[in-house]
Chain A
Amino acid sequence: MTSTETITRAEVCAVACAEIFSGAGEIVASPMTPMAQLGARLARLTTEPDLLLSDGEALLLAETPPLGGKSPIEGWIPFRKVFDVVASGRRHVVMGANQIDRYGNQNLSAFGPLHQPTRQMFGVRGAPGNTINHPTSYWVAKHSKRVFCDKVDIVSGVGYDKVDPDNPAFRFLDIHRVVTNLGVFDFGGPGHTMRARSLHPGVTADEVADNTSFEIAGLAEAGETRLPTEEELRLIREVLDPKQVRNKEVPA
């Protein structure tokens, strides 16, 4: 029997990442980091069997392999078709972030001024198109003031304060969740600001506040993130991540 007594923070995070996809239905899940990938695969093996998952390159997986593992395929999704899916809205992406502000603006492009940054990252990648078209969530392995800042240097992922209410082109913006090593958040606070949904077992409100530059709504009232079930633990430990890749992102 799988032990529930020694549940790690990483395992709690994996389940929180799986719950990002609760009720998602038959859409493409695009998790961009190993932890989010673990979550998406866990969701597919438990409550969300109709999720579509790609190998991260161009093939749709018919089965749900462990992280780094192979699976028979069920279809083809080269990059050009990904952009069709983005525009269709039938997708939920979980991106990483160098910065996120209280309205959900995200930066993975560069730090500093647009035309002469102090540090260059990827550029905006697909973040503008993702956020304006379909549900988007974020995974942050190390919740800190540097990431959760007052103002992002470059808006790659669009936040709620950028929405023009008179322009229906913005109607699909949906920043669904932010999952970090400390808790689960959304943008259900006043004026679509970041709100705490739950803190992981052992995490205090003070710890979150000390590691966030802005005030998070509902922090004092937030309950505890639920623990993995025995079945989820078995899937995480024995099926999906036997090599414990999860512990590299969130140390036990």
Chain B
Amino acid sequence: MVEKTMRDKRMSLDAVIGELRSGMTIGLGGWGSRRKPMALVRALLRSDITDLTVVTYGGPDLGLLCSAGKVRKAYYGFVSLDSAPFYDPWFAKARTSGQLIAREMDEGMLKCGLEAAAARLPFLPIRAGLGSDVPNFWDDELRTVTSPYPDADGRTETLIAMPALKLDAALVHLNIGDKHGNAAYQGVDPYFDDLYCLAAERRYVSVERVVETEELVKAVPTQSLLLNRMMVDGVVEAPGGAHFTLAGESYGRDEKFQRHYAEAAKDPETWQTFVDTYLSGSEDDYQAAVAKFAQENQ
């Protein structure tokens, strides 16, 4: 008799992208230029998947997708590179040329929308957004809801009814995981990667390293075990997979390379060189070219 074992969910970067389709709504974990699933984003750039709706605390992930014209619509609380020049140049180009539909919102609304989706609720009430231009970014997609319970003085509160941000797929990057989808962050902040996974139909996590379950749970405090098996469909081992964003205790942000990215976006020629050098081969090719860049720019 064959002993049954838990599913082995290991897959390659390109196999993950093979499970995605054009037109999907995709959540990208991390925050700004922090622990972004950049290797998975680079794999998206290699594919012909396009027409995406992206949900994110945006950074260079959104920028790179915009550089390839893959984003039709974006739901975001902000877009930032977190260091100079701060504003992502490719997102800025997509916006100023009117290429994408922007569903800009307060940062807290994004968390709220993911929580609604995670709990299979149609909306959750939130104060953030009232009185601001956020509703004007959303056309008719964002409504208010009035409390059935009056306040002590008999008046009722009308709040933003943040709709569930339901995702077709979530892409997140963590520091360490096993082949079944248990995974942990190592560093000061989990960001919202568990919420992205809970809000999504298909969930993919890249990790710096895949280890046996026993090693994983010994490596981190219990509270850092952010993802369990119910929350993950595919696991990719991708060392350096968040580069050039920071990744908790694994590595800091590659500030020089991020500046190079932002500079390269300034004109078509320098961008073509950037694409040729870094984005026209495999992830291994990228990592080798990045190592070369680091050597040359010490």
Residues of A within 8 A of B (CB): 57-59, 76, 78-80, 83, 86-87, 109-110, 112, 114-129, 131-133, 154-159, 162-164, 166-170, 172-173
Interface string of B42-84 (1 = CB under 8 A from A): 0000000000000000100000000000000000111110000
- The answer to whether the Cβ of B274 comes within 8 Å of any Cβ in the partner chain is no
With most chain A CB atoms within 10 A of its CB, the pick from B78, B80, B159 is: B78
Partner of B134, one of A57, A87, A128, A164: A128
A125 partner residues in chain B, CB cutoff 8 A: 77-78, 106-107
Q: Which of A114, A122, A155, A173 contacts B102 (CB 8 A)?
A: A114
- Picked from B98, B129, B137, the residue with its CB within 8 Å of the CB of A116 is B98
Asked if B190 and A78 sit within 8 Å, CB to CB, the answer is yes
Q: Interface size bucket, B side? A: 35 or more
Residue in chain B with minimal CB distance to A113: B98
Tell me how far the C-beta of A209 lies from the nearest C-beta in chain B, rounded to whole angstroms: 28
Decide if A123 touches B188 in the complex (CB within 8 Å): no
User: What are 11 A-B contacts defined by CB distance under 8 Å?
Assistant: A79-B189, A83-B108, A114-B102, A120-B79, A123-B77, A124-B132, A128-B105, A156-B133, A162-B132, A164-B131, A169-B157
Identify the B interface with A (CB < 8 A): 31, 58, 76-80, 86-87, 91-92, 95-98, 101-102, 104-109, 111, 126-134, 136-137, 151, 153, 155-159, 188-192
Q: How far is B133's CA from A167's CA once the two chains are assembled, in angstroms?
A: 17
Most buried by A among B101, B131, B190: B131
Chain A minimum-CB-distance residue to B192: A80
Q: Are A78's CB and B189's CB within 8 A?
A: yes
Choice from B31, B80, B111 contacting A122 with Cβ under 8 Å: B80
Q: Given known contacts A126-B107, A129-B128, A168-B155, is B136 in contact with A120 (CB within 8 Å)?
A: no
> Which A residues are in CB contact (< 8 Å) with B76?
123
Query: Which residues of chain B are within 8 angstroms of A86 by Cβ–Cβ distance?
Result: 108, 128
Quick check: B106 and A129 within 8 Å, CB to CB? Answer: yes
Report yes or no: B132 in contact with A127, Cβ–Cβ below 8 A: yes
Counting from the closest, the 9 A-B pairs by CB-CB distance are A129-B128, A162-B131, A116-B98, A120-B92, A128-B132, A58-B188, A158-B131, A128-B106, A78-B189
Q: Are A127 and B106 in contact (CB under 8 A)?
A: yes
Asked if B128 and A155 sit within 8 Å, CB to CB, the answer is no
The reply to whether B104 and A79 contact each other, CB–CB distance below 8 Å, is no
Q: Which of A76, A158, A166 contacts B155 (CB 8 A)?
A: A166
